[in-house]
């Protein structure tokens, strides 16, 4: 058995039948795709049970930087690097663009999967290519930014169920000049003179709102922010005038799941060993020795309360696995 407790930030006490830590691409030639599950830092996963297959923990940590003729930098980052450590090291080398994504706890390779985003930047904005290893055919392939089909907490890789692809490298095109993106609430109106100042502010804001997974088990936002039609957003806004709504695209608006959960009376609640974070109700936390079924039950309770009050169905953001593999919430 392979202990998964160190590899899930929810700190659930789960195991898999087998497991291996991968440090370079050549090691992947020995693995077969059947019942394999790839993990990075485990900061976006929920295990509802012990897993019956093999877990591959990705720690491929290569890094190369090339200065292009246009003055930009091509950064080829091994997928097992921790994204926040990469950002810190790039700032020190005078390479900018990823500062708003500081302190997201996952690996570089998982970041394109759900197109991680924070404080007005999504990682897909800065990606040139993604290199993958096909665990069935044992070949490497390159996906262009367009082929990645990035969306809000979404990408081709998240939707692809046909082929077992392990992201081995992410290629970024980054800048040597600092063009701060400071439109998001909390950053707006501040003049950032250096990328380090912007990074420090993002870290400060995040520390106020989000629990540190080293101290309190959690997987960040448990649910996605709902995307609804402009008509529905406007109807709700008439009824709830303080409800945050954000422009999403021509026909849709994004709502704040955290606000909906709070107004449904679920902020800072505790059910047994689990609860929602006092400073950000979108985060389900392990308050001690939580069991997987407690997390599932609380998530379902929150979904029901929000649906009863607002008629909106929340969708989990965390990737959820039972003993056989990824499981849809309709089946839990």
The residues annotated as belonging to the active site are 153, 221, 317
Partner that binds at residue 319, options ligand FAD, ligand EPU, none, CB closer than 5 to 8 Å by kind: ligand FAD
Which residue lies nearer to ligand FAD by CB, 19 or 42? 42
Give the one residue of 19, 78, 97, 105 binding ligand FAD; rule: CB under 6 A.
105
Interaction with ligand FAD in 156-215: which residues (CB under 6 A)?
A: 166-167, 210, 213
> Minimum CB separation from ligand FAD for residue 238, in Å?
30
Binding residues for ligand FAD, total number by CB under 6 A? 32
Q: Does 267 bind ligand EPU (CB under 6 A)?
A: yes
Quote the distance between the C-alpha of residue 216 and its chain's center: 17
Which DSSP string corresponds to 217-281?
A: EEEEESBPPPEEEHHHHHHHHHH-TT--EEE-SSSEEEE-HHHHHHHTT-TT-EETTEEEETTEE
Binding residues for ligand EPU, total number by CB under 6 A? 18
Partner that binds at residue 82, options ligand EPU, ligand FAD, none, CB closer than 5 to 8 Å by kind: none
Give kind and range of the element (H or E) at residue 15: strand 15-22
Q: Are 274 and 10 spatial neighbours (Cβ–Cβ below 8 Å)? A: no
Interaction with ligand EPU in 186-245: which residues (CB under 6 A)?
A: 209, 220-221, 224-225, 244
Q: Are 199 and 99 spatial neighbours (Cβ–Cβ below 8 Å)? A: yes
Which residue lies nearer to ligand EPU by CB, 51 or 119? 119
In sequence order, what are the residues at sequence separation of 6 or more whose Cβ sits closer than 8 angstroms to the Cβ of residue 207? Answer: 103
Give the one residue of 18, 197, 262, 322 binding ligand EPU; rule: CB under 6 A.
262
Q: Are 83 and 63 spatial neighbours (Cβ–Cβ below 8 Å)? A: no
> Minimum CB separation from ligand FAD for residue 104, in Å?
4
Within 10 Å of residue 308's Cβ, how many Cβ atoms? 9
Contact track, ligand FAD, 22-51, x by CB under 6 A = ---------------xxxxxxxxx------
Classify burial at 146, counting beta carbons within 10 Å of its beta carbon; exposed 0-12, middle 13-18, buried 19 or more.
exposed
Which residue lies nearer to ligand FAD by CB, 57 or 236? 57
Q: Does 173 bind ligand EPU (CB under 6 A)?
A: no
Distances (CA, A) of 318 to 47, 115, 179, 296: 10, 13, 32, 11
| Start-end of H helices in 12-154 | 83-92, 145-148
Token digits for 269?
A: 């609640």
Give the one residue of 119, 157, 310, 321 binding ligand EPU; rule: CB under 6 A.
119
Catalog residues that contact ligand EPU under the rule CB under 6 A. 118-119, 185, 209, 220-221, 224-225, 244, 256, 258-259, 262, 267, 280-282, 317
Catalog residues that contact ligand FAD under the rule CB under 6 A. 9, 37-45, 58, 79, 104-107, 109-111, 113-114, 116-118, 166-167, 210, 213, 218-220, 319
């Amino acid at each position: 058995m392979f202990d998964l407790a160190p590899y899930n930030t929810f700190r659930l006490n789960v195991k898999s039948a087998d497991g291996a830590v991968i440090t370079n691409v050549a090691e992947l030639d020995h693995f077969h795709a059947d019942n394999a599950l790839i993990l990075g830092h485990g900061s976006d996963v929920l295990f509802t049970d012990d897993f019956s297959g093999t877990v591959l923990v990705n720690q491929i940590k290569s890094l190369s930087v090339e200065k292009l003729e246009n003055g930009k930098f091509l950064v080829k980052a091994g997928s097992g690097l921790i994204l926040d450590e990469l950002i810190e090291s790039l700032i020190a080398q005078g390479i900018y663009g990823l500062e708003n994504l500081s302190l997201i706890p996952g690996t570089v390779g998982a970041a394109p999967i759900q197109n991680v985003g924070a404080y007005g930047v999504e990682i897909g904005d800065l990606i040139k290519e993604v290199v993958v290893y096909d665990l069935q055919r044992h070949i490497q392939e390159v996906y262009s930014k367009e082929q990645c089909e990035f969306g809000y907490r979404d990408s081709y890789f998240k939707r692809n169920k046909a082929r077992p692809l392990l992201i081995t490298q992410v290629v970024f095109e980054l800048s040597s000049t600092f063009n701060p993106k400071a439109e998001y609430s909390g950053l707006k109106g501040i003049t950032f003179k250096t990328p380090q100042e912007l990074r420090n502010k993002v870290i400060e804001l995040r520390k106020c709102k989000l629990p540190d997974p080293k101290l309190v088990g959690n997987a960040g936002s448990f649910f996605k922010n709902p995307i609804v039609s402009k008509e529905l957003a406007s109807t709700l806004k008439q009824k709830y005038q303080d409800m945050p709504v954000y422009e999403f695209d021509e026909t849709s608006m994004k709502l704040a799941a955290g606000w909906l959960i709070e107004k449904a009376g679920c902020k800072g609640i505790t059910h047994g060993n689990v609860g929602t974070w006092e400073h950000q109700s979108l985060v389900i936390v392990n308050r001690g020795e939580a069991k997987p079924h407690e997390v599932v039950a609380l998530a379902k309770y929150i979904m029901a309360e929000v649906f009863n009050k607002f008629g909106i169905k929340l969708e989990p953001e965390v990737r959820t696995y039972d003993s056989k593999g990824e499981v849809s919430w309709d089946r839990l």
